[in-house]
Amino acid sequence: MTGQTPPRRTVIEHCAVATVDAESTEHASGHVVVADGVIEAVGPGPAPAGLEGVERRVDGTGHLLTPGLVNTHHHFYQWITRGLAQDSILFDWLVELYPVWSRIDDRLVHAAAQGSVAALLKSGCTTAVDHHYVFPRGGGDILGAEIEAVAELGLRFTATRGSMSRGRSEGGLPPDSAVERTEDILVASEEAVDRWHDPSFGSMLHVAIAPCSPFSVTTGLMREAAELARRKGVRLHTHGSETAEEEQFCKELFGMGPTDYFESVGWLGEDVWMAHCVHMADSDIAKFAATGTGVAHCPSSNARLAAGIARVPDMLAAGVPVGLGVDGTASNESGELGTELRNALLVNRLRGRPDALTARQALRLGTMGGARVLGRDAEIGSVEPGKLADLALWRIDGVMHSSIADPVAALVMGALPPLSLLLVGGRPVVEDGHLVRADEEAVAKACAAAARELASRA
């Protein structure tokens, strides 16, 4: 129709493009056109001539363009407790840190969330999940503070209303002072969905319901949380099969392993994803594949806590949805998602198979794999027309990468490349390696002050 205002366009061209579409299409030198925050065109060579409304044209020479990375598991608040319990397995690590975490409040969480999001954005992440499950009495509006902090920096976000209800007096790991009553958790979870969850296309904020783990949550809460999430139409998330100690805990308390326990309480399905899933038998993998239950693979955290090596190649071969996760930065101090591409590839080859995970499979885990796990694969995770313009432009012509002929190998197998541009919904959130919407020095100072304050409280 004549007289219509043309869409606002951004053109990125002359760069290598890894689309991560169903055919794994790649262009040695290609272009992407973004119109009003959505990918309009992608293809080889320069962008078409004569485009109207072009507000920005980016010369991507020497760069690789990929989908923005998708982080399927994190604990933002842990940014201010990094470097503690350095040589502990999971259960000992938790016992040491639970008393510290039980003293957080909304102000400290806001600072910690900004530190975590800064690290994610600067490592190419455009969508992230945070699993927050510590809500001390008198801590204020913790989830609201976190959501505000994330929005200020421009990350696409899935906030989970997590919880702990099984304290030490009931056989759990957390101190009783760190847990909540089941009825209070369910009310707060429903209120969080009603207040914040936006299911529309292009939403910047989803909410999921996420009791913490079998060793910190009662069976009753697990069942009722699943019923609530399905009634509200949101997803479910928890930790599962992370360590050998967890498996033994489940067998002693429930008389079955974690996967069978999850099945017994209604926690397998396409609307569910679990973090870690390190200790999975063939039968467990088969149940996840048959039900479409997703997995957040956290290679660095699993190594940091000596949890073991998840059977990611076997999961992928079976058809299990698998994405990547940073996990909490008290067990993955870098806080970067981009480095998890390399670590996933290397860790999964430690079983003795040099082809256990390829560079392109690792990239898919960090993009389309994560999008599928979160149920957003129609919106994000690949560079295709009609999808949201969540895009990462990596510089690969510098001294650290220029001698690697394969651009995807340069990204996944080399050092994490500098990030020249990161778009979320077509809007820049990182330029030339720096945050666009926040003062990094101010974020760093606020995080350091929050860490000192929390340490003094503990």
Residue 212 lies in a domain: yes
Our CA angle for 159, 303, 416, nearest 5°, is 70
Q: How many CB atoms lie within 10 A of CB 333?
A: 18
Q: Are the C-beta atoms of residues 221 and 211 closer than 8 Å to each other?
A: yes
For residues 171 and 112, membership in a common domain is answered with yes
- pLDDT at site 1: 44
Of the residues 349, 373, 397, the one at which a domain ends? 373
Residue 428 lies in a domain: yes
Distance in angstroms (rounded) separating the CA atoms of residues 11 and 56: 6
For residues 16 and 162, membership in a common domain is answered with no
Residue 41 phi/psi, 5-degree rounding, is -155, 150
Q: Are the C-beta atoms of residues 136 and 105 closer than 8 Å to each other?
A: yes
Q: Residue 156: which CATH number?
A: 3.20.20.140
For residues 165 and 36, membership in a common domain is answered with no
**In which domain, by residue range, is 271 found?**
69-373
Residue 215 lies in a domain: yes
CB-count exposure of residue 84 (10 Å: 0-12, 13-18, 19+): middle
- Contacts (Cβ under 8 Å, ≥6 apart) of 213: 238, 239, 240, 242, 246
* Residue found under tokens 């926690």: 267
Of the residues 333, 348, 373, the one at which a domain ends? 373
Distance in angstroms (rounded) separating the CA atoms of residues 246 and 258: 8
Residue 458 lies in a domain: no
Q: Are the C-beta atoms of residues 62 and 46 closer than 8 Å to each other?
A: no
For residues 302 and 343, membership in a common domain is answered with yes
For residues 355 and 224, membership in a common domain is answered with yes
For residues 221 and 135, membership in a common domain is answered with yes
For residue 129, the number of C-alpha atoms closer than 13 Å in the C-beta half-sphere is: 36
Q: How many CB atoms lie within 10 A of CB 377?
A: 18
For residues 269 and 301, membership in a common domain is answered with yes
Residues of the chain with pLDDT under 70: 1-3
CB-count exposure of residue 87 (10 Å: 0-12, 13-18, 19+): exposed
Amino acid occupying residue 130: D
The CA-atom distances, in angstroms, between 15 and each of 60, 92, 98, 324, 395 are: 4, 47, 47, 25, 10
Q: What is the DSSP letter of 425?
A: T
- pLDDT at site 2: 53
Q: Residue 60: which CATH number?
A: 2.30.40.10
For residues 113 and 237, membership in a common domain is answered with yes
Q: What is the pTM of this model?
A: 0.97
Distance in angstroms (rounded) separating the CA atoms of residues 423 and 155: 10
For residues 135 and 181, membership in a common domain is answered with yes
- pLDDT at site 3: 63
For residues 163 and 46, membership in a common domain is answered with no
Token pair of 164, please?
């702990």
Q: Are the C-beta atoms of residues 14 and 29 closer than 8 Å to each other?
A: yes
Q: State the pairing for strand pair 26-35/9-18.
A: antiparallel
Residue 134 lies in a domain: yes
For residues 80 and 208, membership in a common domain is answered with yes
Residue 337 lies in a domain: yes
The CA-atom distances, in angstroms, between 102 and each of 1, 92, 98 are: 59, 16, 6
Residue 236 lies in a domain: yes
Report the number of secondary-structure helices (H) and strands (E) in the chain. Answer: 15, 17
For residues 129 and 275, membership in a common domain is answered with yes
Q: What is the DSSP letter of 133?
A: -
Residue 450 lies in a domain: no
The three-class DSSP label of residue 411 is: helix
Number of domains in the chain: 2
Of the residues 373, 407, 424, the one at which a domain ends? 373
